[in-house]
A and B are shown apart, each in its own frame.
Chain A
Amino acid sequence: MSHELEPITDPGLPDHVHRAADTDPVAEKRAERQVAILFALSAIGTILFIASYIYIPTTEFIFLPVLGSTNAHELFLGLGLGLSLLFIGLGAVHWAKTLMPDNEIIAERHVMRSEDVDRKGFVDTVKEGAAASGLGRRSLIKRSLGLSLGLSALTPLLFLRDLGPLPKKQLETTNWKTGTRLVTDPGDRAIKASDLEVGAVAQVLPQLLPGEERTLSNIGKDAVLLIRLRPEEFELSPERLSWTYEGIIAFSKICSHMGCAVALYEQQTKHLLCPCHQSTFDVPRAAKVIFGPSARPLPQLAITVDSEGYLIAQKPFSEPVGPSFWERSS
């Protein structure tokens, strides 16, 4: 590269500029005082922390603009500890920046490659060792060693299996079976069709058999929302219409997008919203997706009544509830 093509010459490193405190004793004294003040503020913060712990009752509330009514005990504890730690840090940094030595140190970069002599020595050592072990000649040992090393590498796979029980068909099945009664959540009371007025909703779960317990993982897939409309408002296929009972329609509450609980029911528009990503389902049209990221309608639960008039499931869900998963069949 010729000199003519380089219009700006390398200016090199700038001169070292001394700080005021390095040259002026007055500035040095001032910096020292500043650091001391910062540390003193930290001490005041700690004293505030201790004092508010001891003297401010936990039930004391004060009114602050913007924040409103605030618990004084918690407020001054937090304020005290915050000031205490913040000013230790600020003092230490100010001390280092103004008073501690500011020698400039230049560290040159070096080539990463090792010296040729060192490289040759390493290769020689490896070759020497290989020759001494005689691996090249003793193929029986070589192969048996390969086998044992390879097999031992498989053992961690067994530990992976211990991460938990296999999911089996749990994602595809729920606890709704033919004839399972719908019971209120919470309360576990069976409900009759006549218990719901037009426009009413009910959060329901499958009735527990004697001895069974309600687990969160079961609620997480069994939760169902009942909605009563006027029967003439439905726009359903004959099959889906037979899954309703006198205007009562039941949907899985688990969103088919990401599994949030879909239960924001707008009575006037008859839309069902998911609060997480605003997927909107049209209830009279079998929870057809009319807005949002969800790809499938909410699964509909076929319901009817038993001989005593209580609402029951006609049959299990016809498709897996909740979001998509890798092995999902439909």
Chain B
Amino acid sequence: MKRLSRYRRHRFAGPVLLVFALFMIGTTFSVASATTQKSASTLVRSAAVDEGRQIFLKGCSSCHGLNAEGGSIAPSLIGVGAAAVDFQVGTGRMPMADMSVQAMRKQPAYTPDEVAALATYVASLSPGPAIPTQDVVNYERDGNTAQGGELFRTNCAMCHNFAGQGGALSQGKFAPSLMSSEPVQIYEAMILGPQSMPVFSDKVITPAEKLSIIKWIKASQSEPAHGGASLGRVGPVTEGLLIWTLGLGLLIGIAVWLATKAR
């Protein structure tokens, strides 16, 4: 105490005391006003929101607007939720490489952490579908492959092909192949309906049924080609092409050889 009092007339004493007083007031206020746990997570989230906003302003705002309000070439992102950001940016579809009819799947432009920050920022604008947690998307535990196959054939196969290989839509649009899709992305696509895809509501296809569909797709991804060459699993097109060119060509060759006189 004595040592401290020696400095009481020091020229920095005033400012130091002021800083100390401010710090004490702030700490007391934060302890008194809210539980420390909650305020800490709020701080982290607002930091993520700020980081996400910075990424958004650099990478997205030229089309989606400075406040994600949308523009003439891009939709508003207010209310689309974190799941939409995780799907579109996490699969590399956004940012788009060019203004073609459909955003293509490609190498993501942002790291998973940056995608998460962007998602937090967009979710902070207005509530929307959240990213499903790993526990929700535990398809190994909660899915049923056979049921998933039945659901897939009724609800998905018309666009994504009976084996999930994708297929053509109108005017250059297409349903992508599902052979490299991740469970969380499939789940997000079903609840969001990205691009041309319609929404599959939780009451129409329940979360448990969604997991069954995911389990069937994962089983299809690792399904070995038991019958020899699968020819892309797109059905009669490649099979017909092969038999009409290679098969028929071989038969014509043999017919010509049969009818040639030996020398």
* Smallest beta-carbon distance B121→chain A, Å: 23
**Of B196, B198, B229, which is within 8 A of A200 by CB?**
B198
In the complex, the answer to whether B197 meets A267 with C-beta atoms within 8 Å is yes
How far apart are the CA atoms of A187 and B150 in the complex, in Å? 10
Q: Does A285 contact B (CB under 8 A)?
A: no
State which residues 243-287 of A face B: CB under 8 Å: 261, 263-269, 271, 273, 275, 278, 280
On whether A267 and B196 interact (CB within 8 A), knowing A68-B225, A291-B170, the answer reads yes
In the complex, the answer to whether B159 meets A264 with C-beta atoms within 8 Å is yes
Q: Does B227 contact A (CB under 8 A)?
A: yes
How far apart are the CA atoms of A196 and B203 in the complex, in Å? 8
How far apart are the CA atoms of A210 and B228 in the complex, in Å? 46
Chain B hits for A75, CB < 8 A? 228
* Smallest beta-carbon distance B89→chain A, Å: 19
How far apart are the CA atoms of A75 and B226 in the complex, in Å? 9
In the complex, the answer to whether A264 meets B169 with C-beta atoms within 8 Å is yes
Main SS of the interface on chain B?
loop
Q: Does A6 contact B (CB under 8 A)?
A: no
Q: Which residue of B lies closest to A275 (CB)?
A: B158
State which residues 14-43 of A face B: CB under 8 Å: 17, 19-21
Chain A hits for B154, CB < 8 A? 185-186, 203
The CB with the most chain A CB atoms within 10 A, among B198, B200, B202, is that of B198
Q: Does B199 contact A (CB under 8 A)?
A: yes
How far apart are the CA atoms of A197 and B227 in the complex, in Å? 42
In the complex, the answer to whether A269 meets B226 with C-beta atoms within 8 Å is no
State which residues 272-314 of A face B: CB under 8 Å: 273, 275, 278, 280, 291
**Of A74, A97, A189, which is within 8 A of B227 by CB?**
A74
State which residues 177-235 of A face B: CB under 8 Å: 184-187, 189, 191-192, 195-203, 227
Q: Does B126 contact A (CB under 8 A)?
A: no
In the complex, the answer to whether B167 meets A275 with C-beta atoms within 8 Å is yes
State which residues 238-263 of B face A: CB under 8 Å: 257-258, 261-263
Chain B hits for A69, CB < 8 A? 224-225
**Of B147, B151, B209, B224, which is within 8 A of A61 by CB?**
B224
Number of A-B contacts (CB under 8 A): 104
Q: Which residue of A lies closest to B202 (CB)?
A: A195
In the complex, the answer to whether A71 meets B226 with C-beta atoms within 8 Å is yes
Q: Does A78 contact B (CB under 8 A)?
A: yes
Q: Does A157 contact B (CB under 8 A)?
A: no
Q: Which residue of B lies closest to A194 (CB)?
A: B203
State which residues 38-95 of A face B: CB under 8 Å: 61, 66-71, 74-75, 78, 93-94
Q: Does B173 contact A (CB under 8 A)?
A: yes
How far apart are the CA atoms of A291 and B170 in the complex, in Å? 10
Main SS of the interface on chain A?
mixed
On whether A191 and B228 interact (CB within 8 A), knowing A186-B151, A203-B155, the answer reads no
In the complex, the answer to whether A266 meets B230 with C-beta atoms within 8 Å is no
**Of B147, B169, B203, B262, which is within 8 A of A192 by CB?**
B203
Q: Does B177 contact A (CB under 8 A)?
A: no
Chain A hits for B203, CB < 8 A? 189, 191-192, 195-196
Q: Which residue of B lies closest to A227 (CB)?
A: B198
How far apart are the CA atoms of A266 and B199 in the complex, in Å? 11
How far apart are the CA atoms of A187 and B201 in the complex, in Å? 14
Q: Does A173 contact B (CB under 8 A)?
A: no
How far apart are the CA atoms of A263 and B169 in the complex, in Å? 11
Q: Does B27 contact A (CB under 8 A)?
A: no
Chain B hits for A66, CB < 8 A? 229
Q: Which residue of A lies closest to B226 (CB)?
A: A71
In the complex, the answer to whether A271 meets B170 with C-beta atoms within 8 Å is yes
Q: Does B71 contact A (CB under 8 A)?
A: no
The range of chain B's interface size is 35 or more
Q: Does A98 contact B (CB under 8 A)?
A: yes
In the complex, the answer to whether B228 meets A265 with C-beta atoms within 8 Å is no
In the complex, the answer to whether B170 meets A269 with C-beta atoms within 8 Å is yes
1/0 contact trace for B165-202 toward A, CB 8 Å? 00101100101000000000000000001011111111
In the complex, the answer to whether B158 meets A264 with C-beta atoms within 8 Å is yes
The CB with the most chain A CB atoms within 10 A, among B175, B195, B203, B206, is that of B203
In the complex, the answer to whether B201 meets A202 with C-beta atoms within 8 Å is yes
In the complex, the answer to whether A93 meets B258 with C-beta atoms within 8 Å is yes
Chain A hits for B196, CB < 8 A? 266-269
How far apart are the CA atoms of A67 and B242 in the complex, in Å? 13
Chain B hits for A191, CB < 8 A? 203-204
The CB with the most chain A CB atoms within 10 A, among B195, B201, B230, is that of B201
Chain A hits for B230, CB < 8 A? 68
In the complex, the answer to whether A266 meets B169 with C-beta atoms within 8 Å is yes
In the complex, the answer to whether A186 meets B204 with C-beta atoms within 8 Å is no
Q: Which residue of A lies closest to B262 (CB)?
A: A97
* Smallest beta-carbon distance B235→chain A, Å: 11
**Of B158, B204, B225, B263, which is within 8 A of A196 by CB?**
B204
15 inter-chain pairs at a CB distance below 8 angstroms, sorted by A residue, are A71-B224, A74-B226, A75-B228, A97-B262, A98-B262, A195-B204, A196-B201, A200-B198, A201-B198, A201-B200, A203-B154, A263-B158, A265-B198, A267-B193, A271-B170
In the complex, the 6 A-B pairs of residues with the closest C-beta atoms, listed nearest first: A195-B203, A200-B199, A97-B262, A201-B198, A266-B196, A202-B204
Q: A201-B199, A203-B155, A269-B170 are in contact. List 18 more A-B contacts (CB 8 A).
A: A17-B261, A20-B263, A69-B225, A74-B227, A78-B228, A93-B258, A184-B204, A197-B201, A198-B199, A200-B193, A201-B204, A202-B204, A227-B198, A264-B159, A267-B197, A269-B196, A273-B169, A280-B170
